[in-house]
Amino acid sequence: MRTFFFGFIISALLFFGSSYIYQSTAQEVPRTAGEKPSGNDSYSETYRQLNLFGDVFERVRAQYVEEVDDKELVETSINGMLTSLDPHSAYLNADRFKEMQVQTRGEFGGLGIEVTMENGFVKVVSPIDDTPAFQAGVQAGDFITHIDEEPVLGLSLGEAVKKMRGKVGTEIKLEMRREGTEGPINVVIIRDIIQIQSVRHRVEGNAGYIRVTTFSQNSEPGVKKAIAEIKKEIGENLVGFVLDLRNNPGGLLDQAILVSDVFLDKGEIVSTRGRSENDTKRDNATPGDLADGLPIVVLINGGSASASEIVAGALQDHKRAITLGTKSFGKGSVQTVIPMPGHGAVRLTTARYYTPSGRSIQAKGIEPDIFVEQAKIETVSGRRMHESDLRGALDKDKNKEKEKAKKDAANDNKTEDKDAKEGEEEKEKPVDYQLSRALDLLSGLSLYSGNTSGKEPVKTDEPANDPAPVPEEKIIIKEN
């Protein structure tokens, strides 16, 4: 058994590292024909370390308090090697590899959260829109400390994720900690099939709103379709687009590049730089801006990670869009999934990515051009004084008659629509403050550029908070 195991380790080493070993031998290691072999041979040291691993493996098999499966020992050993490198590298057995493939196609079972491991706890990168976790109030940045009353501390990320998955329709209890909140937060979530609609859109006044929840295989076609339908609905009155990447945990790199290319005419989108200089790759935009040069505002927050940061960084660096919101997550590394025939796959961090200006996002994130935190809006009560309130104001009586006629017409319309609106007004949706600011910005940009002649400005639900001062009386004196 031990001979077989050593053979497995050596063959695995050669399989994983064959390209690197060949490259080093062919390009970096000098010719040593005729020279005495060095006593510090790196290969000898590698085999010595593998021998140590084999000794520990045999000791565990023979003396551990409970009998353990050889396959499980090997898989967890490989996974331990990879997870010790960084939080995103891991070994995927056949089942997990299959689940990952299903996830990138946009449908899978679970809670609907993207997670990572930090300080021994599971950290929520972001909840996915309209999933059980999202509806239960799970937020980006939450730390999951207990799953079904069992502590997470001591588990690997894969083990924690496995515990959170389960049969559709079953309950799971999560205990979480949230910054700024005292005590634990307990939620009960019903597992469900997660069907991700990666792109959604709607019209906001004269602006187009496009929400990208994750970058899966259908993201770029979805964005193109959204732009076409918004253009068709608004027509020539379109003033711009809001691209919402908040709580977007990332996804497929190629989709992030394609979505960026939708809004860019030329220039670099992203560069990925690996271990050696030869591993540098640059992806450039192709001609054709489907937004026709209209202003774009990109919304980001702490849940915007990886692929969404690529899009935000590319549009920001090319001055093609204004980023608004809060600092993004800061995941600037690229993972390559390498299938292992007959087994699973290795998810390995192989490169860092950089924005067109050469910025690394890793552990830094994208800083928005305009910093706007999410906020709750309250209307300031109080009546303001107007010119018509002053005694003896010019045209006061005429304006009163016009206002009365308008109110009478409005009351007639309200009476007719009352029955139709009774069911719709049961619950008023809260105002999305960051989106409102983005729409205000689009309206201002459009007015400033002079592109809205005869067009209505973008309407938002935001009341003004600062009371307007009463204007002073202006007196003109004419000299005879």
Closest C-alpha among 105, 181, 107 to residue 137: 181
**Which of helix, strand or coil describes residue 391?**
coil
Q: Which residues contact 449 (CB under 8 A, 6 or more apart)?
A: 295
Q: Is 126 a catalytic residue?
A: no
What six digits make up the tokens of 256?
């992030």
Task: Say how many residues make up the chain.
Answer: 480
> Taking a C-beta distance cutoff of 8 angstroms, is the pair 224, 231 a contact?
no
Q: Is 306 a catalytic residue?
A: yes
Closest C-alpha among 465, 447, 468, 467 to residue 456: 447
Q: How far apart are CA 243 and CA 210, in angstroms?
A: 5
> Taking a C-beta distance cutoff of 8 angstroms, is the pair 328, 366 a contact?
yes
Sort 359 into a burial class: Cβ within 10 Å, 0-12 / 13-18 / 19+: middle
3-state helix, strand, coil in the chain (%, to 5): 35, 20, 40
Cβ atoms within 10 Å of 24's Cβ, excluding its own = 13
**Which of helix, strand or coil describes residue 333?**
strand
State which amino acid sits at residue 104. T
Residue whose token pair is 């590899």: 97
Q: Is 317 a catalytic residue?
A: yes
**What are the backbone dihedrals phi and psi of residue 21, each rounded to the nearest 5 degrees, phi first?**
-65, -45
Q: How far apart are CA 160 and CA 115, in angstroms?
A: 10
Exactly one of 306, 328, 436, 446 is catalytic; name it.
Answer: 306
Exactly one of 129, 317, 328, 436 is catalytic; name it.
Answer: 317
What is the gyration radius of the CA atoms in the chain, in angstroms? 30
Sort 219 into a burial class: Cβ within 10 Å, 0-12 / 13-18 / 19+: buried
Angle ∠(288,324,262) on CA atoms, nearest 5? 15
What six digits make up the tokens of 56?
């520990």
As a whole number of Å, the end-to-end CA separation of the chain is 118
Exactly one of 261, 328, 331, 446 is catalytic; name it.
Answer: 331
Measure Cα distances from 329 to 29, 138, 260, 266, 300 in Å. 40, 17, 19, 27, 9
Q: How far apart are CA 268 and CA 380, in angstroms?
A: 47
Closest C-alpha among 73, 101, 124, 168 to residue 344: 101
Report the catalytic residues.
Answer: 306, 317, 331
